Chain A
Amino acid sequence: MNRNQTFIKELEERLDSDGPFSSFQLFSLGYQAEQARIVPSFHGLRSLDFLPHMSFLDHQLETALEAIEKMNGRVILADEVGLGKTIEAGLILKEYMLRGLVKNALILVPASLVNQWVNELNTKFYIPAVSHRKHHNWGGNTILVSSLDTAKRTPHQEVILANEYDFVLIDEAHKLKNHQTKNYQFVRQIKKKYCLLLTATPIQNDLMEIFNLISILKPGHLGDVASFKEKYSGNKGKQEADAYLKQLIERVMIRNTRENTNLKPSNRIIETILVDFTKEETEVYQQLNNMQRGQDIFTKITLLREICSSREACFLSLKKLQEANTPDEEIHSIIQKINELPAHSKALKTVELIEQIGNEKVIIFTEYRATQLYLQWILQQHGISSVPFRGGFNRSKKDWMLQLFKGKAQVLIATEAGAEGINLQFCHHMINYDLPWNPMKIEQRIGRIHRFGQENDVKVYNLAVKQTIEEHILNVLYEKIRLFENVIGELDAILSDLNIQDMEQEIETIYRESDSLGEAEIKLENLASIVHKLADDMNEKSVGE
Chain B
Amino acid sequence: MAIVNIEQFMIDFFSAYQCKLLNKENGVLQVELTEELDKVLMNRPFYWHYMQNLGQKGVPMTLTLITNPEKRDQQGEWIDIGSPRLQQIFNHVTHHEKYTLLFQEVNTDKNTPLYPWLLANFKVSYRGRQKKEEIISLGIQLVTGKVIVNMMDELNKLNLKQQISNFCYTISPIITLASGYKRIEKIIQHYVENQPKEWINEAIETRNEEIALLKQFYKDDLENDIVKKELEEIHNRYTPEIAIDVTSGGLIYLLQQFPEV
Q: Which residues of A are interface residues toward B (Cβ below 8 A)?
A: 1-4, 7-8, 10-12, 14-15, 19-43, 49-53, 68-69, 72-73, 99-101, 126, 128, 188-189, 191-194, 215, 218-221, 223-225
Contact = CB atoms under 8 A, between A and B. Distances in A.
Contact of B185 (A3, A19, A22, A126): A3
Given A7-B246, A72-B206, A37 B214 contact: no
A27 B217 CA distance: 54
B36 interface: no
Contact of A7 (B120, B155, B215, B243): B120
B80 interface: yes
A491 to B, nearest CB: 35
Interface in B236-259: 236-238, 241-251
Given A99-B131, A193-B236, A220-B213, A36 B229 contact: no
B83 interface: yes
B152 A28 contact: yes
B251 A34 contact: no
A20 B120 CA distance: 17
B82 A126 contact: yes
Contacts of B134: 38, 40
Given A19-B101, A220-B213, A191 B135 contact: no
Interface stretch (B45-53, B88-96, B107-115): B88-96
B130 A99 contact: yes
B187 to A, nearest CB: 13
A382 B177 CA distance: 83
B130 A68 contact: yes
Report, as a range, how many residues of chain B touch the other chain: 35 or more
A122 B137 CA distance: 34
Q: Is the interface of B mostly helix, strand, loop or mixed?
A: mixed
Contacts of A10: 99
B39 interface: no
B57 interface: no
Interface string B123-145: 10111111111110100000000
B170 interface: no
A21 B132 CA distance: 30
Nearest to B180: A8
A468 B247 CA distance: 76
Nearest to A95: B130
A156 B2 CA distance: 44
B174 interface: no
A437 B127 CA distance: 53
B160 interface: yes
B97 A26 contact: yes
B54 interface: no
A45 B153 CA distance: 28
Given A4-B245, A189-B226, A51 B185 contact: no
B217 A219 contact: yes
B164 interface: no
B74 interface: no
B97 A193 contact: no
Contacts of A22: 96-100
Contacts of A25: 12, 16
Contact of A224 (B199, B212, B216, B243): B216
Contacts of B90: 33, 36-37
Contacts of B99: 10-11, 14, 20-22
A96 B246 CA distance: 22
- Residue in A4, A69, A188 with the greatest tally of chain B CB atoms within 10 Å: A4
| Leading 7 A-B pairs by shortest Cβ distance | A220-B217, A50-B82, A220-B213, A35-B2, A7-B246, A30-B97, A33-B90
Contacts of B155: 24, 28
A183 B94 CA distance: 42
B76 to A, nearest CB: 15
A189 B82 CA distance: 34
Contacts of B177: 8, 11-12, 15
Contacts of B219: 224
A221 B129 CA distance: 18
A349 B46 CA distance: 58
Nearest to A225: B217
- Residue in B130, B137, B210, B249 with the greatest tally of chain A CB atoms within 10 Å: B130
B137 to A, nearest CB: 8
Nearest to A94: B82
- Residue in B78, B128, B133, B152 with the greatest tally of chain A CB atoms within 10 Å: B133
B3 A40 contact: no
A34 B127 contact: no
30 contacts: A1-B192, A2-B244, A8-B177, A8-B181, A11-B249, A11-B251, A24-B100, A25-B12, A27-B97, A28-B156, A29-B13, A31-B2, A31-B248, A34-B248, A35-B2, A38-B133, A43-B130, A50-B81, A52-B81, A53-B78, A72-B129, A72-B237, A126-B83, A188-B226, A189-B226, A220-B212, A220-B216, A223-B217, A224-B218, A225-B217
